[in-house]
Amino acid sequence: MRFLLVEDTADLARSVQDLLRLNGHGVDWAASLAEAQDCLAAARYDLILLDIALPDGDGRRFLADLRRAGNDSPVIMMTARSAVADRIDALDGGADDYLTKPFALAELEARARAVLRRRGGAAQTVRQYADLTFDPLTATMTIAGEVRELRNRELRLFEILVNAPDRIFSKDQLCDRLFSFAESVSDNAIEVYVGRLRRKLDGSSARIETVRGLGYRLTAA
Amino acid sequence: MTDSPARNRPARLGSGRVALTGSLRRKLVLQFLAVAAVVAVALFFAVRVTADRAAEAAQDAVLGAATIALSEGLRAEEDGLDLDLPPTTFSMLSAMGEDRVFYRVTLGSDTVTGYGDLPLPATLPPGALPEFYDASYLDTPLRLAAVTRSMLVDGRQVTALAVLGQTRFGQRAIADSIARRAALLGVGFFLLAVPLSLWAARSILGPVGRVTEAVARRGPHDLRPVNQSVPRELGPLIGALNGFILRLRGALSRTETFIAEAAHHIRTPLSTVRTEAEIALRQTQEEPTRVRLRSVIRSVEESSRSAGQLLEHALVLYRTDRVDRSEFDLAAVVTALVEAFRPTAELRDIALALDLRAGEVPVIGDRLMIEAALRNLVDNAIKYSDADGTVDVGLTVADGSAQVTVSDRGRGLGGASLADLATRFRRGGNVTDVVGSGLGLTIVTEVAEASGGRFSLSPRDGGGTCAVFSLPLR
């Protein structure tokens, strides 16, 4: 996905960009509303991540102006203030969703997907691997014309693997991306999801290989 | 922020300790009554003096006429004077009541007839008009009248003096009777003044009471200036009150801004830490480092959550005092809330099931506070549910109240009571492995209290927890 990040705190903006890029997304950064305006004039974005308090104005007003001008790009507001009060403000102002800082990348991606799904999927997210077609937006996998629905963790697990085919991911690495750090995870949790995904991949040439002592990787026979 | 909620709230009107020094109304009434008493006494004396004078004038008129009649009864004879006392003279005087009458007629320095020691006037009256004077005779106060008459006796021109004295019992009786009436009049006036003073005091202090009532009747959030029309004397007081209201408004809005700013300044750097840690975790393969990074992320989540909950708790406490009540559709709020949580729940493959039996559910309350409470309930249910579970959110209307039910199939309450869990920073004994601040249920309980609603937490049949948050219907 291609994001426009409108955030004035440079440290935070830099690390959010890095993290999004690590997951294979494209990101442009605007440190002010004026810069955001320039970016929007020059490129199309799948999603705008908009902070509320910016040096040259209020993100909510910027959004309202954007909507009045007929721009209906999907917008997720980021707030570091009271979650409830800002949520009402943000949604009333035309935002598609909101995120309270600090947020996990997985949460951002989940919300972005939900917004794009609601909007009818503007982003070109469908990807091809071996003999299967994978659409993370609708959380479906199509193998030989048969559509299979993925649950959220199956989807995210497959997304991680399919973004780097043949690369070995350790259980820990997968755990860290699949589970929230706030919850306790049992040792065999990842095996459960790998097992489920293998069943969904049944009949495809793509398969998840266990590399003993190292982890898992996606390969196509 | 560790104070109890009750202590955090400003003292309500009437509960503050105010030193009351006397009553304006009593002061006014007493002053009115003092004036009325002075007026009543003055009235009494004025009536008495006037009555005394009138009685004396009446006696003088009779006494004068009788004296003139007496002097006209004098006749000159060869050997002197002869008094032909006319009977009308004494019948006139007897009209005065029990009074005794004394007379004396002198010719030059000789007493011709009557009581020889009856006191004479200091100077001889010049003409035919009687001269009146007071004197004491036989230890009795007398009113006397003296008239002179020129007569020819033996061809000589002489001046005869006729003196008539009368005791003053009749006059005293009349004066006493009038004095009694004057006293009655004074007392009556005073008695009439009592209710009048009370009424006057009440009507003067009326505007004070009306302003008090207008201010006391206001809802706690009503911080408009007082714009009642009041007497000029109350103007400065109302001005001061309005100035105070303005400052209070400023302070409250600064509090809200402060809460928002505080959240911003705490959460923004935490966001950077969290994101950086997440990147580092992705980039390193070394297990000890990864363990540390996970612990960093967990701590950031814990502190950002605590900061969020603390600020939300502060916001709830602060809003409790100014409850922004408005009517809103609870069904719409619950629906939006569930939709907002759906992606979060999906991250853990938890399904959020929404069961709306009613259509619109209009309730009155502080929407922000109620949303904060419901957010905490749904958040808790998701947090404590196992992956692949379902959280059921329902909204029903029964017995004049709207009930939001949030039930999960999580680990349950572990035997803890709501009172325990609603205690600030107290968490259930069975949830130490899950990040939490121990403020969520405190917030929910406080919002329920402030909104006139109820909150209960109970084990769910078949495992899990069932939270019920109810609000009175509009």
Which residues fall within 8 angstroms of residue B57, CB to CB, at 6 or more apart? none
**What CATH code is carried by the domain that includes residue B384?**
3.30.565.10
Segment B227-240 shows an average pLDDT of 86
Same domain, A83 and A175: no
Which residues in chain B touch residue A53, judged by CB atoms under 8 angstroms apart?
Answer: 264
B275 with A16: Cβ contact below 8 A:
yes
Q: Which residue in B259, B261, B265, B268 has the most chain A C-beta atoms within 10 A of its own C-beta, making it the best mutation to test that interface?
A: B268
Same domain, A165 and A132: yes
For residue A87, the model assigns a pLDDT of 66
Domain for residue B351, yes or no? yes
For residue A123, the model assigns a pLDDT of 57
Segment A43-52 shows an average pLDDT of 91
Same domain, B56 and B188: yes
Which residues in chain A touch residue B298, judged by CB atoms under 8 angstroms apart?
Answer: 181-182
Same domain, B211 and B300: no
Domain for residue B3, yes or no? no
Same domain, B154 and B235: no
Same domain, B280 and B422: no
Range with lowest mean pLDDT among B275-289, B337-351, B420-434: B420-434
For residue B97, the model assigns a pLDDT of 67
Among the candidates A118, A148, A165, a domain finishes at A118
- Say if residues B165 and B144 touch (Cβ distance below 8 Å): yes
Range with lowest mean pLDDT among A102-116, B183-197, B258-272, B459-473: B258-272
Beta-carbon contacts below 8 Å between A and B: 137
Query: 């999580």: which residue's tokens?
Result: B410
Which residues in chain A touch residue B286, judged by CB atoms under 8 angstroms apart?
Answer: none
Among the candidates B305, B322, B339, a domain finishes at B322
SS (H, E, C) chain A: CEEEEECCCHHHHHHHHHHHHHCCCEEEEECCHHHHHHHHHHCCCCEEEEECEECCEEHHHHHHHHHHCCCCCCEEEEECCCHHHHHHHHHHCCCCEEEECCCCHHHHHHHHHHHHHHCCCCCCCCEEECCEEEECCCCEEEECCEEEECCHHHHHHHHHHHHCCCCCECHHHHHHHHCCCCCCCCCCHHHHHHHHHHHHCCCCCEEEEEECCCEEEEEEC
Range with lowest mean pLDDT among A170-179, B12-21, B276-285, B345-354: B12-21
For residue B126, the model assigns a pLDDT of 78
Closest C-alpha to A94, from A114, A75, A117? A75
Among the candidates A93, A118, A143, a domain finishes at A118
Model confidence at B9: pLDDT above 60:
no
pLDDT in tens, A119-163: 876 556 788 998 999 998 888 999 999 999 999 899 999 999 998
Q: Is B287 on the interface with A (CB under 8 A)?
A: yes
For residue A157, the model assigns a pLDDT of 93
Which residues fall within 8 angstroms of residue A147, CB to CB, at 6 or more apart? A140, A141
Same domain, B300 and B372: no
Smallest CA–CA distance, residue A202 to chain B, in Å, is 21
Domain for residue B7, yes or no? no
Closest C-alpha to A201, from A158, A138, A139? A158
pLDDT in tens, A159-193: 999 988 999 998 888 888 888 877 777 778 899 99
Same domain, B160 and B282: no
Q: Which domain holds residue B167?
A: 22-217
A151 with B336: Cβ contact below 8 A:
no
β-sheet bridge partners, residue B406 = B393, B467
- Across the interface, of A16, A18, A110, the residue whose CB is closest to B347 is A110
Smallest CA–CA distance, residue B381 to chain A, in Å, is 13
Closest C-alpha to B260, from A198, A148, A21, A52? A52
Among the candidates B186, B217, B248, a domain finishes at B217
- Say if residues A49 and B305 touch (Cβ distance below 8 Å): no
B312 with A102: Cβ contact below 8 A:
no
B267 with A80: Cβ contact below 8 A:
yes
Segment B317-322 shows an average pLDDT of 73
| B residues 339..368 contacting A (CB < 8 A) | 340, 342-344, 346-349, 367-368
Q: Number of helices and strands (H, E) in chain B?
A: 10, 14
Which residues in chain A touch residue B297, judged by CB atoms under 8 angstroms apart?
Answer: 181
**What CATH code is carried by the domain that includes residue A153?**
1.10.10.10
Same domain, A113 and A13: yes
Same domain, B125 and B210: yes
Give the pLDDT band of residue B325 (cuts 50, 70, 90): confident
- For residue B235, CA distances in Å to B200, B208, B217, B227, B228 come to 21, 11, 20, 10, 10
Q: Count how many domains chain B has.
A: 3
Same domain, B276 and B350: no
Which residues in chain B touch residue A9, judged by CB atoms under 8 angstroms apart?
Answer: 268, 272
Query: 């572990």: which residue's tokens?
Result: B414
- Across the interface, of B267, B279, B371, the residue whose CB is closest to A101 is B267
pLDDT in tens, B246-255: 898 888 778 8
Same domain, A76 and A145: no
β-sheet bridge partners, residue A127 = A134
Among the candidates A92, A118, A144, a domain finishes at A118
Same domain, B251 and B208: no
- Across the interface, of A87, A101, A181, the residue whose CB is closest to B271 is A101
Segment B110-137 shows an average pLDDT of 85
Distance of alpha carbon A214 from alpha carbon A196, whole angstroms: 20
Same domain, A194 and A157: yes
Q: Count how many domains chain A has.
A: 2
Same domain, A103 and A64: yes
**What CATH code is carried by the domain that includes residue B238?**
1.10.287
Smallest CA–CA distance, residue A4 to chain B, in Å, is 17
pLDDT in tens, A1-40: 899 999 999 999 999 999 999 888 899 999 999 999 999 9
Q: Which domain holds residue A179?
A: 127-220
Model confidence at A82: pLDDT above 70:
no
ipTM of the complex: 0.84
| Percent of the residues in chain A that have a pLDDT greater than 70, as a whole number | 94
Q: Is B379 on the interface with A (CB under 8 A)?
A: no
- Say if residues B401 and B469 touch (Cβ distance below 8 Å): no
Strand pairing report for A57-58 and A53-54? antiparallel
Which residues in chain A touch residue B285, judged by CB atoms under 8 angstroms apart?
Answer: 170
B111-115 long-range contacts (CB < 8 A, ≥24 apart) are: B112/B80, B112/B81, B112/B83, B112/B160, B113/B81, B113/B83, B114/B163
Same domain, B318 and B330: no
Same domain, A142 and A38: no
Which residues in chain A touch residue B368, judged by CB atoms under 8 angstroms apart?
Answer: 84-85, 88
Same domain, B49 and B90: yes
Q: What are phi and psi of B328, to 5 degrees?
A: -150, 165
Provide the residue type at B419 as one letter: A
Q: Is B312 on the interface with A (CB under 8 A)?
A: yes
pLDDT in tens, B367-390: 888 998 999 999 999 988 888 899
Domain for residue B80, yes or no? yes
Domain for residue B1, yes or no? no
Give the pLDDT band of residue B16 (cuts 50, 70, 90): low
Provide the residue type at B293 as one letter: L
Range with lowest mean pLDDT among B3-7, B227-231, B416-420, B446-450: B3-7
Same domain, A53 and A152: no
A184 with B433: Cβ contact below 8 A:
yes
Same domain, A98 and A205: no
Q: What are phi and psi of B155, to 5 degrees?
A: 75, 5
Mean pLDDT of chain B: 84
Q: Is B271 on the interface with A (CB under 8 A)?
A: yes
For residue B8, the model assigns a pLDDT of 39
- Say if residues A97 and A76 touch (Cβ distance below 8 Å): yes
Give the pLDDT band of residue B10 (cuts 50, 70, 90): very low
| B residues 125..184 contacting A (CB < 8 A) | none
Same domain, A13 and A107: yes
Among the candidates B201, B217, B233, a domain finishes at B217
- Across the interface, of B264, B294, B336, the residue whose CB is closest to A181 is B294
Same domain, B144 and B37: yes
Same domain, A137 and A51: no
Same domain, A135 and A212: yes
